[in-house]
Structure 1
Amino acid sequence: MQSTGIVRKLDSLGRITLPMELRKSFDIGEREPLEIFTEEDKIIIKKYNPSDIFTGQCEDLIEYRGKKVSRDSIRELARIAGYKLTEE
């Protein structure tokens, strides 16, 4: 992990501001979704990249009931369930 030397205080609502330099470096646009992770005593902020809930694949996704699933996973699940698919 690399220190940026930047220190920010939380405001009264618990928010912080990401400095413009970091937003430019990571190509983070206004209102772009960010994902928050924790690891031991660390808080990690990462650009949100939707991915398949089964494989983590990021291409060819379909949303089903608020979850992202790739067409490959759908085909595999259909095969496992004994269905034969015809491609459109």
Structure 2
Amino acid sequence: MSVGIKFLMSAFLVAGLLGGCVSSPGLGDTIAARGAAAREVAEDYKRGEKLVALGEKNVSRGETLIDKGQDQIRDGKQLLATAKQDFCTDVRNDDPACQ
């Protein structure tokens, strides 16, 4: 290799090594970065706990609504059956719906 290329390669190597040393974060920066990351994780965890609690509450409410809905369906079917029976017995025994 020529002297010029060796010199440039050496210069880039030295600059890279020195630049790496200068740009590396100090202990304080590292601690601050880890502290910030820990705060973010803690906030996410708290937010997750709240979402789980809210979801469990919504599931409980949903189960209650399902039970009420099933009761209403059962009551409605009973009313339909009674109305049909009354209609067929008292009004139109010859109607095809009564067959």
What TM-score do the two structures reach when normalised by structure 2?
Answer: 0.26
Structure showing the higher strand proportion among its residues:
1
What TM-score do the two structures reach when normalised by structure 1?
Answer: 0.28
Greater relative CO (CA pairs within 8 A, separation 6+)? 1
Structure showing the higher helix proportion among its residues:
2
